[in-house]
Chain A
Amino acid sequence: MNQLTRRQFIGSATAGLAGILAFRVPPAIAQKREVTMLGWSHFVPESDAKLKQLLEKFAREVNVGARSDHVPNVQLATKQAAEVQTKAGHDLMMFYNEQTWRYRDHLVDLDDVVGELNKKYGTDIYPFCKEAFFINGHWKALESIWPAIPGNYLQSKFRQVGEGPPDTWADVLRAGKKLKKIGHPVGIQISHCIDAHTTFWSIAWCFGAKVLEADGKTIAINSPKMAEVIEYYKELYSDAMEPEVLSWDDAGNNRCLNAGRCAWIHNPVSPYAVAIDKKLPIADDINHHSTPAGPAGRFFAPNARGYGIWKFSKNVELAKDLLRFLFREDNLREWIQAGNGFNHPMWRYWEKHPVWNTDPKLRLLPAEGVFGRMRGWPASPSDVIGVIDDLYILPDMVAKAIGGMSTKDAMAWGTDQVKRILATMR
């Protein structure tokens, strides 16, 4: 057998590399296509495990590679920015809330995929999902998760203070005052995290307050209704919560409930799902009730998440096939089940899924959809709303008032910040 000399090796390798660079075609041995997706690290880890299984199944059926990467929720925005700036990265990307609007020009239209799925699941779609992902007449992402955000509470603690599950935010405050006295406060983040916005928008709408008018340009923070919201937060913070809520991340309230310390949080059902999964005794004590109402009605701000396909992807059709596969009835049923009540697709068709009909503690969740609104409402989702959220203006406004700033000054501060955002956004 002839031995390869060093000179021959370097010559062949250089020629091969030059060929690959010149023709931009890798050798046949490396040509197996791979479709990739990037999403969050799910609060219910079983859901990500099921996604991995489904991708393996897809890879076998289509004879391609399929991979899903996961990053913590707060890092998704950074990854999206990096991928779109470099025009490189994953084929599919998870977007939530206003992010689809932000990247609308860089996303492939999914009208054909949604059209096919609508034939199966119908066109009865939750309005806030359509608002988030149907942009300028085109579907830009396919919604995979909108978690309802009910009240999560410890039944034993509420019984201990002689309270039932709260129906309104006033009930939360009343019960919270008693609960804090027995060492089991209410827990709502007022910090730099997504849950802090979620609950702020929910409370604001329930009190009839707005951040922007429906035109998306007129600032509406400075109002008696918003003053009521801030005053409510101040009372809740001092009489029913502990200062820890100012430091929490998105999982802070989950940990507090599952540790048996907090008696009430406003959150998707992930604490319960995790407690069941890890066989924590607290699972028996946790229950859920409808998101609280206020003087202006019952509303909440779901984090609607979906997958979109980058225009720069080299596997657009394959990525669409993957979406078709993941949303195929048998696969979607399994994926929803794995989320243990957390994963709710945008079609009301799925309200009949057994996950919400076997466990009485989850039965209320599908009906919550009617209370959901996209952040910014009554304004439509927009880049401006996204920046308001990403700069944490609203929780900071509340935190300033809690920290001693007058309600009037806090609203003036919030107004100034939003004014600046509007002025600097094209």
Chain B
Amino acid sequence: MSLASNPTPKSREGSLLLPAVRLTVWRELGQVLQREHVMGYLLVLPAVLLLVGLVAYPFIIALWLSLTDAYVGRGGDFIGLRNFLTLFMEDDIFRQTLRNSILFTTSAVAIKTVLGLSLALLLAQNLRLKRLIRGAVLLPWVIPTALSTLGWLWMFDSLYSVINWTLLRLGVIDKGLQWLGTPHLAMIAVITVNVWRGLPFYAITLLAGLMSINPELYEAAESDGADAWARFRYITLPLLRPVLAVVILFSTILTFADFNIVYVLTRGGPVNSTHLFATFAYQAGLQAGKIGEGSAIALFMFPVLAVIVYLQLHYARREI
């Protein structure tokens, strides 16, 4: 007869105690989890792990690469800030990229702000087929950018441009415009597509902001004799300002770091007149294999964006 089949009093006692021990462990664990700061950290942990793995780690690697002369497939030597200095001091394509990025971002964000606010005010009205229109407005935001930009590529094509066809038929021009072959027209083209793409984000977010404004404020203003402009100036705009600040913040970041639109439409041309940081970093780092320099170009965006984020969050917090 085995020991297992004839348990000693001690082992029998142990097996009786086991569920009780388990229960105690679970109870203690439950008590620990009920402490707010423990539970809080636990809930945040997955997000922190994701941020470390997908943002912090690549960022540190990029930072390291930007301080080296790494070439694709080969390690690089530490060269300090030489990449940054030579780019800024000696590389006129980089300086042009900087100018392009500022022009592209400020123009696109300004246009999106004005048009987005107008669209939001329009959508806030009691229109017929309101829901359908609101859904349709979101379409440019929903379609994958690379795909929709291909559609725009055909619209700006030198041979088959539907825009040129329309302008020619309307008698606005007498010869097709070279949208993507002329530097300033190419910049207008990429800004146009960016505005088209980003407008729904503005409109829908600002619409949500508009919906949260208490209608009684408008009624009170109306009874005091305020006209539409006064109501917009003294009620809508001040109350919408925090939402507007956040929308502009996000849009500035996304526009500044845009890649798809420029890459599909112009690949940075003609003569680098539409290169943005992302497309130039891609060209130098991945196409030409100068990974160190490419990382430095990409990281030039970081301080600019950090300042924008700080200023706008500071402003938004003060407003809220």
Contact = CB atoms under 8 A, between A and B. Distances in A.
A390 B288 contact: yes
A243 B183 CA distance: 11
Given A245-B181, A400-B271, A78 B159 contact: no
Contacts of B183: 403
Contact of B289 (A193, A242, A386, A403): A386
Contacts of B208: none
Q: Chain B, interface size: which category? A: 35 or more
Interface of A is mostly: helix
A252 B271 CA distance: 17
B289 A246 contact: no
A399 interface: yes
Contacts of A416: 90, 92
Given A81-B289, A424-B86, A246 B73 contact: no
Interface stretch (A98-106, A169-177, A280-288): A98-106
Interface string B17-38: 0000000000000000000000
Interface in B65-92: 69, 71-74, 86, 90-92
Contacts of A403: 183, 271
Interface string A379-402: 000010011001110001001100
Contacts of B91: 420
Interface in B149-175: 158-159
Nearest to A77: B287
Contacts of B69: 424, 426
B260 interface: no
Given A399-B270, A426-B71, A391 B181 contact: no
Nearest to A76: B287
Contacts of B312: none
B45 interface: no
Contacts of B178: 242-244, 246-247
Interface of B is mostly: loop
A420 B182 contact: no
B266 interface: yes
Nearest to B292: A424
Contacts of B92: 413, 416
Interface stretch (B7-15, B244-252, B278-286): B278-286
A417 B74 CA distance: 23
A256 B93 CA distance: 30
A403 B183 CA distance: 9
Interface string B259-303: 000000011111110000000001111111111010000000000
B289 A244 contact: no
A391 B283 contact: yes
Nearest to B266: A247
A264 B135 CA distance: 48
A391 B284 contact: yes
B202 interface: no
Interface in A126-179: none
Contacts of A102: 72-73, 289
B215 to A, nearest CB: 51
A386 B288 CA distance: 7
A242 B176 CA distance: 11
Interface in A221-270: 242-249, 252, 255-256, 259, 261
Given A103-B73, A244-B178, A246-B178, A191 B270 contact: yes
Interface string B87-103: 00011110000000000
Given A247-B180, A247-B269, A424-B290, 4 more contacts: A246-B178, A259-B159, A413-B92, A424-B86
30 contacts: A77-B287, A77-B289, A78-B286, A81-B285, A81-B286, A81-B289, A81-B291, A84-B73, A85-B73, A244-B159, A244-B181, A245-B181, A246-B178, A246-B181, A246-B270, A248-B158, A391-B93, A391-B283, A391-B288, A392-B269, A396-B271, A399-B269, A399-B270, A399-B271, A413-B92, A416-B90, A420-B90, A420-B91, A424-B290, A426-B69
Please give me the 4 A-B residue pairs with the lowest Cβ-Cβ distance, nearest first: A244-B158, A247-B180, A247-B181, A390-B288
